[in-house]
Structure 1
Amino acid sequence: MSPSRFRVRIIFRRPVLFVARFFIRAGVQPDTITYLSLFVAVLAWLLLMILRMPLVYGLLVFTVGFLDGVDGAVARGTGTASNKGAFTDSFVDKVSEAVILLAIGVAYSDEYFLGLSVPLWSAVCLAGWLLTSYAKSRADVLGVKDLDIGLGGRSERLLILSVFSVFGLLLWGLFAATLIGLLTAGYRYSYYKSEIHG
């Protein structure tokens, strides 16, 4: 059974729709919001490098995840949802994730956590996140119907990283995000493989 009922996007559905209505009234296009989320991710990188303040970084990471929900809501609300828009959203999402995670590796390049260098943690985390998304995309192409499985969806991973960071536990957040990303990737691999025929 799909655990999609536990997705954090359900919790934030109302505030996402509230902000989406504001953007719709302002005439802002979904793609603009998508690129805005990338800008916020880059800003998170720069401020983490300059200020080394996990609180600010965490708030910006949360904003990236929030805007990811808003752009989709705007597309649906304006009837402008399209395959091209979905592709742009997915592509920019991956770039944003890379920026967010590599920012930690660069900002803490000379530090170690639980015996491993922080850049290595960042790389492993990014690999887990990308594999999670790739498994879902590939399974979709191969005809798997129940795609929204595993508790570590994009929204959940970003929320975990942002919450830990806000409380000054950025590296623990990186560890938790790495763990849930790898576990979700492994679970999706196992589940999707069992659903693919031929």
Structure 2
Amino acid sequence: MIDTRWRGGFEPMFNFLSRILVRLKIKPNAITIAAFAIGLFSAICIGFNKPIIALILLWISGLLDALDGSVARLTGKSSAGGAYMDLIFDRMVEAFIILGFTILAPTNYIAYILFYISVIFNFTTFIVAGALFKNDSEKSMHYDTGIAERTETFIVFSLMLIFTNHITIILMIFNVIIFLTGIIRFHKVIKYSKTLH
């Protein structure tokens, strides 16, 4: 929701940073890979109980994830392959972040498992919607918005890092939001699929 509604406010900053990366001749896929690698280092820092470093790396990863698409559009190098890599790497970073929390605080394992289940459900509905619905945006595929998007996920991870004694309640609330996002999209996809016959 934040990505969709408020990104416009940050767009000037993203464009400024993207133009710097373009001048440095850094390719979009390299930015995507860097975002992935830094996200993994954040997960490692979580596992080793280095919350401040983990938090900084997490948001650097998130910033780079926002910039790769902008750089691709500025350089005319947007591609389905790049979009595919970006989607997969995003989910992998989230999975490894949760793995880091599992190492740090394993007693919250039910919340972690439910997170994985909710993400699988939500991401599946997202991919199906992307394949079915017409793409009217500048992205490589239809991007179906929802309550829980990338920025919300990073905010939740940040709260989990700051309030480690309340990981379960924070993540369980977010799990419900992810499930709701998937359910709403699932209903939308089913409703749309009936119009195809």
Q: Is the 8 A contact 2:2 2:149 kept in 1?
A: no
Q: 1:140 to 1:22 in 2, by over 3 A?
A: same
Residues 107-147 of structure 1, C-alpha deviations (whole Å, 9 max, x = no match): 211x2xxxxxx122112112212322221211222336685
**Equivalences for 1:63-142 in 2 at 5 Å?**
63-109=60-106, 111=107, 118-142=108-132
TM-score (norm 1): 0.81
Q: 1:36 is matched by which residue type in structure 2?
A: A
TM-score (norm 2): 0.81
User: CA separation in 1, counterparts of 2:143 and 2:87?
Assistant: 15
Residue 33 in structure 1 maps to residue 31 in structure 2? yes
Q: Is the 8 A contact 1:29 1:74 kept in 2?
A: yes
Counterpart secondary structure, 2:70: helix
> Could you say what the CA RMSD is over the residues aligned between the two structures, in angstroms?
2.5
User: CA separation in 1, counterparts of 2:173 and 2:13?
Assistant: 26
Task: Give the gaps of 5 or more residues in structure 2.
Answer: 136-141
Residues matched between the structures, number: 187
Q: Is the 8 A contact 1:38 1:64 kept in 2?
A: yes
User: CA separation in 2, counterparts of 1:129 and 1:10?
Assistant: 26
Q: Is the 8 A contact 2:43 2:97 kept in 1?
A: yes
Q: 1:147 to 1:49 in 2, by over 3 A?
A: closer
Match of 1:115 in 2: none
Q: 1:130 to 1:144 in 2, by over 3 A?
A: farther
Residues 53-82 of structure 1, C-alpha deviations (whole Å, 9 max, x = no match): 434333322222222110000000111001
Identical columns (%)? 22
**Equivalences for 1:1-198 in 2 at 5 Å?**
7-50=5-48, 52-109=49-106, 111=107, 118-143=108-133, 148-162=144-158, 164-165=159-160, 167-169=162-164, 171=167, 172-197=169-194, 198=197
State the shift of 1:83 in Å.
1.3
Match of 1:114 in 2: none
State the shift of 1:6 in Å.
5.0
Q: 1:196 is matched by which residue type in structure 2?
A: S
